[in-house]
Structure 1
């Protein structure tokens, strides 16, 4: 079977569980952010392990399932957890769900992640609108034969993250408050995607910042490339969970990343809900 055959088989399986629901917006929920899927009404949960040709998420904080239902009046399909290159999956497997969601009917994709902030004006708990990215993973999901049924051989990446969707998010962020009435800080910047799984050295972080990076993480870039390849508009949001400034770097654990993501979760959920409600698909 070809890659496209596998996509179609996976999509057919998911479709068979949806009772006629056709998702119009995809959400990829990163580390500590999967609780948004619990807000989906009339949700149908489908474990990745049940979907033909799907890998399984192995990272703490990633539930490993789709949830399909209604959020703010729109039919969405949310990924509670994603797949990473560092888990040992080839890039084509990492982005496989993007093509499956496209086959199911989505028109746009919201990609979220937890990231380290390299911009000195950022602080833990900020949300960063991803303006652009730098692919430092050493790999690209489009390497190999191209099937024109998915997209062009040489997809344009001049607007990898849709500007109109980004402007809408910035406008909506002005009215989002936390549980105690505290305002949301939405910053904007360039996301550097690395392979991981080790966190970066001080010298590496200094290099990335000098290259123009504002945040660094281990996901999102490949998914965005695949989404652009198959014609999806992309909105990217990073939760800044720690400061990754080379000259001031301190030891970091995944538990610390998760703790900050969990603290930021209420504002993040409200912002994404506002976006889903207002976006024109």
Structure 2
């Protein structure tokens, strides 16, 4: 694509972001969201705890992803959690679905335009840690991008971020500390680890899992890494947590399947829901959005 084509692409993205932002703002009744949560496979129930202000299908938002995978509703829920204004993005589009980076950029940059400061990424993932089997949670401390793609490749859009954004604090250390404090407060076991993101849609081979383990990975999945890159590029802070749905290939006896992912996401999702809600509440106290109990 020529430089003129790239410029036009940037302009089209900005138009979609502006239109989506206006649609959302018109439905928020003055609410100013400060935190957004992307809910992974089978984890959409987290949004059910919100005092809902608006429900907007992604199909009503120009440029937003159009998820095609079971467990990804494709709905934006805006509301409050314990008085803290938040947005829940129920479902994501994955690169393996044939979508390019554009819908991910539109969704995340729209959050930035709305005034969101923190993006909380969740996913369903396979575990490489025996102490974190299916049904447990792993806080994401760092990531490895095995997708073969960096979503910022091509001419940089300087209006959103620098050409070479640093990723040394991709998952904010202070926010991760708050996540562990929230887990301790509600009695939920939580360990931290490095998330390895593959392109998919195939599950990883046992050899690939051995490679990931040798390189320091603790969980694997098919999402999240691109969203983190886009968020950090435009200045959003990121915190993340994986709901473990299986032991990674070669580390367990059960055959891997998406049905298994959905089944165990529902179980781990109960723990994740409590953790996300407590984190949002505690973060709201820190930001002065609500008073301490």
Q: Of 108, 120, 125, which aligns to 1:98?
A: 108
For the pair 1:238 / 2:242, whether they are aligned, the reply is: yes
Structure 1 residue runs of 5 or longer lacking an equivalent are 177-182
1:108 equivalent in alignment to 2:118: yes
Deviation at 1:185, TM superposition (A): 1.9
Question: Which residue, out of 243, 248, 255, partners 1:251?
Answer: 255
Determine the structure 2 residue equivalent to 1:139: 149
Partner Cα distance (1:64, 1:171) in 2: 31
How far the C-alpha of 1:247 sits from its partner, in A, is 5.3
TM-score (norm 1): 0.94
- Structure 1 residue 248: deviation in Å? 4.3
How is 1:179-258 mapped onto 2 (pairs within 5 angstroms)? Answer: 183-246=187-250, 248=252, 250-258=254-262
Q: Is the 8 A contact 1:91 1:139 kept in 2?
A: no
Q: Report what 1:118 is aligned to.
A: 128
**Aligned: 1:24 with 2:24:** no
Aligned-residue RMSD, C-alpha: 1.4
Mapped partners of 1:6, 1:122: distance in 2: 40
What residue ranges of structure 2 are gaps of 5+ in the alignment?
A: 1-7, 288-293
Count of residues in Structure 1 that have an aligned counterpart in Structure 2: 275
Q: For residue 156 of structure 1, what is the aligned residue in structure 2?
A: 166
Tell me if structure 1 keeps the 8 A contact 2:57–2:74: yes
Q: Choose 165-174 or 90-99, whichever is displaced more.
A: 90-99
2:18 is the alignment partner of 1:8: yes
Q: Quote how far apart the aligned CAs of 1:236 are.
A: 0.5
Residue 180 of structure 1 is matched in structure 2 by none
Give the TM-score taking structure 2 as reference length: 0.90
Query: Which structure 1 residue ranges, 4+ long, deviate > 6 Å from structure 2?
Result: none
SS of the residue corresponding to residue 174 of structure 1 reads helix
Q: Answer whether contact 1:92 1:142 (CA < 8 A) is retained.
A: no
